[in-house]
A and B are shown apart, each in its own frame.
Chain A
Amino acid sequence: AQTVTQSQPEMSVQEAETVTLSCTYDTSESDYYLFWYKQPPSRQMILVIRQEAYKQQNATENRFSVNFQKAAKSFSLKISDSQLGDAAMYFCAYRTAPLAGGGADGLTFGKGTHLIIQP
């Protein structure tokens, strides 16, 4: 079974600074997807960024980027120029590639990192 580990229960950063959230995972699969989701106080889970394991290039979405190290099974999220609206729980998640004949596996989530932005 796959496992996802987020070793930082809480992180704090000054507004406009850069912060990196850590995530490691364990899998025997070669084809899979990794995600970072954000959950603000509204509780709505929002996809921040996605990485396909077969792509060597790190994904980037505006101020959000990842450092994907497949061999090390590491998938960290970097938030540049932190803003007050970035304050939230951040979850790292793993999913195996969709099955050829259909079907699905659910996402496996880490326990989350609570990100605090200091004004």
Chain B
Amino acid sequence: DVKVTQSSRYLVKRTGEKVFLECVQDMDHENMFWYRQDPGLGLRLIYFSYDVKMKEKGDIPEGYSVSREKKERFSLILESASTNQTSMYLCASSLSREGETEAFFGQGTRLTVV
């Protein structure tokens, strides 16, 4: 079974703190994604990566950065956390091969910024 693991299920941080959300996948997937989920808005793509050290902006990258130093790990960084970044964060991974399009998700991190 593919496993995508996010380092924390719940996190509480203070405004202005630098926050790291970590995600690890164990199936050698090329692609990794960070989504933000808010009630009534669905899931919105923050950043994605299709290879080590490669990153692409998604739909809502402002206030976030990412790091992918190893294939299995994709980190989301909030440089200076703000209360409007309180949300559920979901990491996902997938293959790039034709026909292999399913994305596998982690269990989510509920981040509260106070």
Chain A residues in the interface with B (C-beta under 8 A): 6, 9, 33, 35, 42-45, 47, 50, 52, 91, 95, 97-99, 102-112
Contact = CB atoms under 8 A, between A and B. Distances in A.
A50 B102 contact: yes
A98 B42 contact: no
B98 interface: yes
Interface of B: 30-31, 33, 35, 40-45, 48, 50-51, 58, 88, 90, 92, 94, 96-103, 105, 107-108
Q: Name B's interface SS.
A: loop
Given A35-B102, A102-B96, A103-B50, A42 B107 contact: yes
Nearest to B58: A106
B88 A107 contact: no
Given A9-B40, A50-B101, A112-B42, 11 more contacts: A6-B42, A35-B102, A45-B90, A97-B98, A99-B96, A104-B50, A106-B33, A107-B43, A108-B45, A109-B35, A109-B44
A106 B30 contact: no
Nearest to A50: B102
Contacts of A47: 102-103
A115 B40 CA distance: 14
A43 B108 CA distance: 7
B41 to A, nearest CB: 6
Contacts of B99: 52
A111 B40 contact: yes
Contacts of A42: 107
Contact of A98 (B35, B45, B101, B107): B101
Contacts of B44: 109
5 contacts: A95-B101, A103-B96, A104-B30, A104-B94, A108-B45
A6 B45 CA distance: 17
A34 B97 CA distance: 16
Top 4 nearest A-B pairs by Cβ distance?
A45-B105, A104-B31, A111-B42, A106-B45
Given A35-B102, A43-B107, A106-B58, A91 B50 contact: no
Contacts of A33: 101
